[in-house]
Amino acid sequence: MKKFYLLFVLTPSLILSQTEFSQEKANDLLKVLSIEIGPRPMGSPAEQKALQFAVRKFKESGCDTSYIVPFDRSSRANTTSGIAVGVKRGATKRIIIVGGHIDSAGPEVPGADDDGSGSAVVMELARVFGKRSMQSTLVFTCFGGEEQGLEGSRYFANHFENIDSVALMLQIDMANGLEIIDVDGDTYGRSAPPWLVRAAFEEFYRLGYEHLRYPTHAFVLNYAFGRGAGSDHESFLDKGIPALDFSTDVNKPIHTPQDNFGNFDPRGLQRSGDVVLNLVERFDSGVPDKELSNYWLYVIGKNPIFVPYWTIKMFVGIAFICTIVAFITARKRRLVPRDIRWSGIRMMLFTFVIVLLAWISSDIVGVIKGFRYPWMSELPLYFLLAFLFGVLGVWLMLRVALKLPLSRCPYVFYKRASIILILYTLLFAWASIKLALYPAGSLLLLSLAMLSRNTVAKIIFILLSPLLMVRLIFNEWIGFIFHSGSGGATIISFSQNLMINGVLILFFTLYMYPLTLGFAAVYRDGNSPRALFAAFRSRWGGIVVSALIITMIVYLYPREVYSNLWYRNVTVEETYEPEQDSSRQTRKSSVSLRSNEYLDGVRASRENGDTLLTGRITDARIPLITGDSTTHGALSPLVRIDRTETLIKTGDTTDYKSTIILQSRTRPYSVSIMYTSKGKELNFSSEKMFSTARSAKTLRWYSFPDTVLTVPVQFQIVGSDSVRESVEVVFSMLTHPMHFDREKTNFFLRTIFYESKVYRP
């Protein structure tokens, strides 16, 4: 009996560990990457150390060849990055690439989940396959620079001499826990072949795992207007190579210091490793074909459904035909032209009020609780609160409609709604045919509601009509979008926040306006459930909704805003500029603190005492006392800049050749040198990577370049014009000894050195 019980208990774990992949070994590799090596931003010595570690592991695993592919510039900056490569030769020259990215998002981000975990899986898979004889040649890759725009994988895909022999690429980008894992086979304008996506679902569920998801709506929006948030598999799809990425829940705190080993669940290593291992085994003898495809993918249960583009176009056509029929029918039933004017404008106002109430719902709670973003750890609950506020807005507008009467003709509202939705469909189709599906779906359901004479069917159609368009915005990645936009390290000032919120409220008003018109059209149409609307519009309807809102606020008030996963971010900056009367001495006056969240409770400790910040402020300055022993660095410049210049004058043209030698006491985090002219085209050249604009050229280094940089540049000045050279050097620490403290708060320390010089003929 005991043996039977033991077998019963252990069976699930045995099912979930059917391969030779070792979770324990992968976890040990992850510990080295995220703890011993630590944060690994592109170009940093830590990234180089991680690449060397990966190469060493590839060699130990039995790869025939292991090396680093270096590159010294990205699409936007000078850098020292690369790709760690391990090659296990097979019986054929057909290649399967298994990849992850080894860099992290910043100098404070350990990158355990994103994507130390993926790189650890790649290295462990190299160990497993290193002992085998394979038909395909396996190439294991740990890409640098993914967080800066897929730089490593793009370089590799463009320079790998055997790229035409690559039959398949599999990417592991985040492997944290056994919750949702997204499969991504998309890039802009093309997708992985259906056979690959089907195989991923089949192997995943054959292993006994759960929660594989294709985030349909998120990806439609993500790839509609160009490149969005993707991974290194895109670089291979762009080359016409079937490729797939597996990423655990992006709504977790990636790109933050909380992406650390302590918050990581290693069970995801086993899951991702098992799935990729089985896919490699399945296609070792070859792939069905290499042709990429286009489709709208939706998953029902455990089955991916591939909807080809021609089906979407047919659906849009049916929606338009149905709309024409409904338009003609509604026009025949229109009332005599003794109508109330400005009904459309009033409906726009009603929509604005509903959207405004829903949008500011979290701000109301924030004012009560003393936080700008009270939803950081409880986002789904605040969506529910926003919905309730939106319902309150509907109730309020129904009451106002009694004072500001609207047209009684359903045709008036349906005409406007259908025309706007048709325009939205055409506009969305211009960006992506998959995007057009959403307004077309709302248009079809609204038209069916107008055509239906059955009250129940009419209610069902009109209630379903907004779902697709709402789901497009509030998609599977909405948590990632909200946390990245408001809770990230990028500081948004009060005026910027006001402007952003104003633009978003206006956008959602225009976005939802045709749906509001549609509801009005159905309400005014025959066989509408007027009694139901009248009951909701009554005083008791408002009391019930208000009671639900108050209950929700009371429930949310004591709940923690920040948690072990979600912290507040504070940027601390100390700025140096040259004194006016000396090119070697520098000055500093204060340390500035900025945050998207209030700074209340932040304590700054230094040698001459503590400073406690209080109140609902997002920007503060702590003055430094001149002559204090803690300002010992003031007369010792962080950065020394030497220049050699030669100039040649030809008529009214002056050609400058300048070499800047930038020396710093320690490795800077980033360096930028900008050359600007007064609104005229700047003729400029350099052997270094630079970004270009009409009157400005910028050379940039990211991150942690050498302490000595030699930068030769050439430019031309015409007539009495001048060129300004602006140097900005940023360090990821403070030179002033100061400690900052507050619970559940990240402090990003920066020292910024500025210097400028003007070149004149």
**Domain limits of the chain?**
17-293, 309-556, 570-761
Q: In 350-387, which positions are buried (b, 16+ CB within 10 angstroms) versus exposed (e)?
A: bbbbbbbbbbbbbeebbeeeebbbbbbbbbebbbebbe
> Which pLDDT tens digit goes with each residue over 92-147?
999 999 999 999 999 999 999 999 999 999 999 999 999 899 999 999 999 999 99
Q: What is the pLDDT of residue 523?
A: 86
Helix (H/G/I), strand (E/B), else coil: 728? strand
Which of 7-21, 189-203, 290-304, 512-526 has the least mean pLDDT?
7-21
pLDDT above 90 coverage of the chain, percent? 75
Helix (H/G/I), strand (E/B), else coil: 507? helix
Phi-psi region of 42 (alpha: psi -120 to 50; beta: other; left: phi over 0): beta
Query: Residue 284 phi/psi, 5° resolution?
Result: -60, -35
Angstrom CA distances, 52 to 31, 83, 297, stand at 16, 10, 39
Can you identify the CATH homologous superfamily of domain 17-293? Zn peptidases (3.40.630.10)
What is the Cα–Cα distance from 320 to 682, expressed in whole angstroms?
Answer: 52
Helix (H/G/I), strand (E/B), else coil: 617? coil
Of 309-318, 407-416, 590-599, highest mean pLDDT: 309-318
pTM of the entire predicted model: 0.92
Q: How confident is the model at residue 761 (pLDDT cuts 50, 70, 90)?
A: confident
Q: How confident is the model at residue 336 (pLDDT cuts 50, 70, 90)?
A: low
Q: What is the pLDDT of residue 679?
A: 65
The strand pairing partners of 696, in sequence order, are: 676
User: In the CATH scheme, what architecture does the domain 570-761 have?
Assistant: Sandwich (2.60)
Over range 626-645, report the average pLDDT. Answer: 63
Mean pLDDT of the chain: 90
Helix (H/G/I), strand (E/B), else coil: 79? strand
Q: What is the pLDDT of residue 657?
A: 93
Q: What is the pLDDT of residue 339?
A: 62
Q: Is the pLDDT of residue 637 over 70?
A: no
Q: Is the pLDDT of residue 299 over 60?
A: yes
* C-alpha 743: how far from chain center: 26
Q: Is the pLDDT of residue 580 over 60?
A: no
Over range 425-436, report the average pLDDT. Answer: 95
Q: What is the pLDDT of residue 337?
A: 59
Q: How confident is the model at residue 4 (pLDDT cuts 50, 70, 90)?
A: very low
Q: What is the largest distance, in Å, between two alpha-carbon atoms of the chain?
A: 101
More confident residue, 50 or 637: 50
Q: Is the pLDDT of residue 358 over 60?
A: yes
What is the Cα–Cα distance from 461 to 528, expressed in whole angstroms?
Answer: 12
Q: What is the pLDDT of residue 607?
A: 82
Provide the token pair at 93. Answer: 């020259």
Q: What is the pLDDT of residue 626?
A: 54
Q: What is the pLDDT of residue 683?
A: 87
Residue whose structure tokens are 């980033």: 670
Q: Is the pLDDT of residue 422 over 70?
A: yes
CA geometry: angle 708, 714, 717, nearest 5 deg:
135
Phi-psi region of 382 (alpha: psi -120 to 50; beta: other; left: phi over 0): alpha
First-last CA distance in the chain: 95
What is the Cα–Cα distance from 259 to 252, expressed in whole angstroms?
Answer: 8
Q: Is the pLDDT of residue 375 over 50?
A: yes
Q: Is the pLDDT of residue 165 over 50?
A: yes
CA geometry: angle 60, 63, 68, nearest 5 deg:
90
Which of 1-5, 210-214, 417-421, 462-466 has the least mean pLDDT?
1-5
Over range 462-491, report the average pLDDT. Answer: 87
Q: What is the pLDDT of residue 484?
A: 85
CA geometry: angle 206, 209, 215, nearest 5 deg:
105
Q: How confident is the model at residue 582 (pLDDT cuts 50, 70, 90)?
A: very low
Q: What is the pLDDT of residue 459?
A: 87
Q: What is the pLDDT of residue 520?
A: 92
What is the Cα–Cα distance from 25 to 22, expressed in whole angstroms?
Answer: 5
> Which pLDDT tens digit goes with each residue over 683-723?
899 999 888 887 899 999 999 999 999 999 999 888 888 89
Closest CA to 145 of 221, 230, 47: 47
Length of the chain: 761
Q: What is the pLDDT of residue 608?
A: 81
Over range 302-331, report the average pLDDT. Answer: 96
CA geometry: angle 132, 32, 142, nearest 5 deg:
55
Note whether 590 and 573 are within 8 A (CB). Answer: no
What is the Cα–Cα distance from 39 to 43, expressed in whole angstroms?
Answer: 11
Over range 188-202, report the average pLDDT. Answer: 96
Q: Is the pLDDT of residue 374 over 50?
A: yes
Q: How confident is the model at residue 226 (pLDDT cuts 50, 70, 90)?
A: confident
More confident residue, 656 or 637: 656
Which of 233-237, 391-395, 492-496 has the least mean pLDDT?
492-496
What is the Cα–Cα distance from 357 to 385, expressed in whole angstroms?
Answer: 10
Provide the token pair at 422. Answer: 């048709």
Q: What is the pLDDT of residue 322?
A: 97
Q: What is the pLDDT of residue 497?
A: 82
Q: Is the pLDDT of residue 317 over 80?
A: yes
Query: Residue 173 phi/psi, 5° resolution?
Result: -120, 90
Q: How confident is the model at residue 1 (pLDDT cuts 50, 70, 90)?
A: very low
- 463 Cβ neighbours under 8 A, 6+ residues apart: none
Give the count of beta carbons closer than 10 Å to the beta carbon of residue 36: 10
Over range 464-475, report the average pLDDT. Answer: 95
pLDDT above 70 coverage of the chain, percent? 93
Closest CA to 511 of 474, 540, 463, 560: 474
Q: Is the pLDDT of residue 742 over 50?
A: yes
Q: What is the pLDDT of residue 5?
A: 38
Q: What is the pLDDT of residue 10?
A: 39
The packing angle between helices 539-556 and 361-369, to 10°, is: 50
What is the Cα–Cα distance from 131 to 60, expressed in whole angstroms?
Answer: 11
H or E element, residue 638: none
Q: How confident is the model at residue 13 (pLDDT cuts 50, 70, 90)?
A: very low
